[in-house]
A and B are shown apart, each in its own frame.
Chain A
Amino acid sequence: KQEVTQIPAALSVPEGENLVLNCSFTDSAIYNLQWFRQDPGKGLTSLLLIQSSQREQTSGRLNASLDKSSGRSTLYIAASQPGDSATYLCAVYGGATNKLIFGTGTLLAVQP
């Protein structure tokens, strides 16, 4: 059974800092991994999708890496801003079941 874990559960940083969020999964037979952002009272917004054959994806100040063999992914946020405050979720697709399985999330607060 695929299990997805994210650490830390919560993170508070001052504005301008670079930060790393971690995601680990138990079944490495995935098709892809996605990072989502969730704002309070709103749905999920997809930030980055990494195919199983890829090592990383970049979008603006965000960079996500994938090490499928070790079951790990990181989301790097450069020069954090208060507007980055949200919950970040990683999700994997594939493995034994063709469905999107989410991690527990990291609640990020960027202090101005």
Chain B
Amino acid sequence: EAGVAQSPRYKIIEKRQSVAFWCNPISGHATLYWYQQILGQGPKLLIQFQNNGVVDDSQLPKDRFSAERLKGVDSTLKIQPAKLEDSAVYLCASSLDLSAYGYTFGSGTRLTVV
């Protein structure tokens, strides 16, 4: 079974620029998550989708972050404009459904904002 695919692996941008990350979950997984992991901290959930609907986006900074999951499969996370404090690893994960089981994580995208 193929894993969760993310791209790009690395991205360096200047502050105030925009950036987008892409995630392709495991086939058949209805639930998709985006996590932000700042260096030295644990991952923090930004947004959770069930199919193409948002279940939880309470910790998503909506003034600059946006995410979508078209057709309930692939997802993109966008930051516009980026701030220095957005430097982090952005992890995508998927699971079969809204439960605590069977999370599969991608390798992440490391974003550096300079």
Chain A interfacial positions (CB closer than 8 Å to B): 4, 6, 9, 31-32, 34, 41-46, 49, 89, 91, 93-94, 97-105
Set A43, A94, A97, A104: member contacting B41, Cβ < 8 A? A104
| A41-B107 contact in complex given A89-B42, A102-B43, A102-B44, C-beta closer than 8 Å | yes
Inter-chain contact count A-B, CB under 8 Å? 56
Q: Closest residue of chain B to A32, judged by CB?
A: B100
Most A CB within 10 A of own CB, among B3, B9, B107:
B107
Q: Closest residue of chain B to A4, judged by CB?
A: B42
Q: A107 to nearest B CB, angstroms?
A: 9
Q: B35 to nearest A CB, angstroms?
A: 8
Beyond the given pairs A89-B42, A99-B48, A103-B42, 7 more chain A to chain B contacts, judged by CB atoms under 8 angstroms and listed by A's residue number, are A42-B107, A43-B108, A49-B100, A91-B42, A97-B56, A104-B41, A105-B40
Q: Give the B interface residue count (CB, 8 A).
A: 24
15 A-B pairs within 8 Å (CB atoms) are namely A34-B100, A41-B9, A41-B110, A43-B4, A44-B43, A44-B93, A45-B105, A99-B45, A100-B33, A100-B45, A100-B103, A101-B45, A104-B40, A104-B41, A105-B42
Contact B100 A43 (CB under 8 A): no
| Residues of B close to A34: CB separation below 8 A | 100, 103
